Amino acid sequence: MNIKFYLLLSMVAFSFAAQSQCTKTYSGTGVYPTQLANAYEKVPYTFEVDFTFPVDTTIGNVSIHIDSLVLTSCTGFPGTNFNYTCGAANCSYAAGSLTKFQGCIMLNGTAPSGSAGNYKLIVGMVAHFKLPFVGAQSQSFKDSTAQLTVVACNLNASAPVPDVAIVCPGKFANLWADSGNYTYMWLKDGSATTDTTRSITVSDSSKYMVILEDENGCIDTSAAGMLGIYAQPTKPTLAVTGTMVTCTPASMNYRWYKSPLWDSLIVDSSIIYCGNLPAQFNGSIMVKYKNNDGCWSGLSDSASLNCFVGIERNTFSQDFNIFPNPANGNAWLYISSNVGEQVSMNLLDATGRLISTKKLSLVSGVNWENINLNELTKGIYLVQLSSQSGQTSKQLVVE
């Protein structure tokens, strides 16, 4: 016994929640389209199946009237997590005064990984009708003309890459995700952020992952990427020796600051002394330094320096100088003194350590004094002259 009917399958987009009402019906007969829109592995897929077939048909030469149609199954899905919901209660459709049955089922699910291929959607139905002289009858039917193709998702998100591999503490860099027609969602230590652009700006060493979604809805989560951060330089300390302040640790780059406005001084040395400061300076000094990684430390605690403690700052002429400077082997001190007197000449290294000391007998006028540098290593030194009436100092660079 065979009953002729028509089943229409058509795909329409709507929300992922199962619907209770059909969103469209087909006015013709037959199956359209036979090829449904592609599904993608691991991507939620939802579509509506609409069917249309006549109430009155024939079995052989016998005309019959179908009283009701019950949809009993919908199979052939990729994987086991697909399901369907009918547009009518209990999936039962009564003919009543209609000339054709029109209804729908709502299908939704997710094709699992590895399920790429072609699938036949098999819809099972049971028609209930009456035959003359026989009475109530039923007939089961299946239709498998609609095909669903599942496409593999080959999206492979790369770990985010920083534009600078490692930065100093407190500095920023950008982490970059793959370029392409994607939507982005960033995760920080496993928790979602509000960032939805290809790159994000970071300043910490948290683990960042990015979720990519392409135009087909394929989704992949990258491995973690992170920004390298150098260790924080140790806080510098200051030691005051007379009219000289020494910074520890030693470095090649410094930024000195003086009160009361904490304006900066251009002194690229671990030592600062009254000769670097305004006349009659009496205040506080702070410093920060750059380490070998190129990172600046925080500021030191302040140190007090009094360059005018009841003495004549200009006991020595401003013509006090060192030639040559930088020097190698020997250097000469040029000293123009206002009076003849005994002077102590101290040589200190960049840490403030006393290297040598010597007593000089100055005459009023021009004085020359040789300094032997052969035993000194390359670096920055301080030549300090002091007497009962005052002191002054200058920086010496040994090559």
Burial class of 84 by CB neighbour count within 10 A (0 to 12, 13 to 18, 19+): buried
What is the token pair recorded at 101? Answer: 């049955």
| Residue 70: alpha-carbon gap to chain centroid | 55
**Cα 320 to Cα 384: distance, rounded to the nearest angstrom:** 11
Burial class of 235 by CB neighbour count within 10 A (0 to 12, 13 to 18, 19+): exposed
Question: Residues spanned by CATH 2.60.40.2550 within the chain?
Answer: 313-398
CATH class of the domain whose range is 313-398: mainly beta
pLDDT given for residue 21 in this prediction: 58
Question: Residues spanned by CATH 2.60.40.10 within the chain?
Answer: 161-229
**Cα 236 to Cα 218: distance, rounded to the nearest angstrom:** 53
Q: Which fold has domain 161-229?
A: Immunoglobulin-like (2.60.40)
What one-letter code names the amino acid at 118? N
pLDDT given for residue 310 in this prediction: 37
Beta bridge partners of 135: 131
Nearest partner of 337 among 372, 371, 361, judged by Cα: 361
**Cα 41 to Cα 34: distance, rounded to the nearest angstrom:** 21
Biggest alpha carbon–alpha carbon distance for the chain = 148
CATH class of the domain whose range is 237-306: mainly beta
Backbone angles phi, psi at 274, to 5 degrees: -60, -25
Q: Which fold has domain 39-151?
A: Immunoglobulin-like (2.60.40)
Q: What is the pLDDT along the chain (399 residues), one digit of tens a residue?
A: 333 333 333 333 333 233 345 666 667 665 667 788 899 998 899 888 788 888 888 877 888 899 999 999 989 999 888 988 888 888 898 888 888 888 788 889 999 989 999 999 888 889 999 888 888 999 888 888 788 999 999 899 999 999 998 999 999 999 999 999 999 999 999 999 999 999 999 999 999 999 999 999 998 999 999 999 999 999 999 988 777 788 888 887 888 888 777 777 767 777 787 767 776 677 888 999 999 999 999 999 999 887 754 334 444 545 678 888 888 889 988 888 777 888 888 888 876 778 888 898 888 888 888 989 988 888 888 888 877 766 777 888 888
Contact 333, 322 (CB under 8 A): yes
What is the token pair recorded at 80? Answer: 């086991």
Backbone angles phi, psi at 280, to 5 degrees: 60, 30
**Cα 99 to Cα 350: distance, rounded to the nearest angstrom:** 104
Within 10 angstroms of residue 109's Cβ, the number of other Cβ atoms is: 17
Backbone angles phi, psi at 131, to 5 degrees: -110, 140
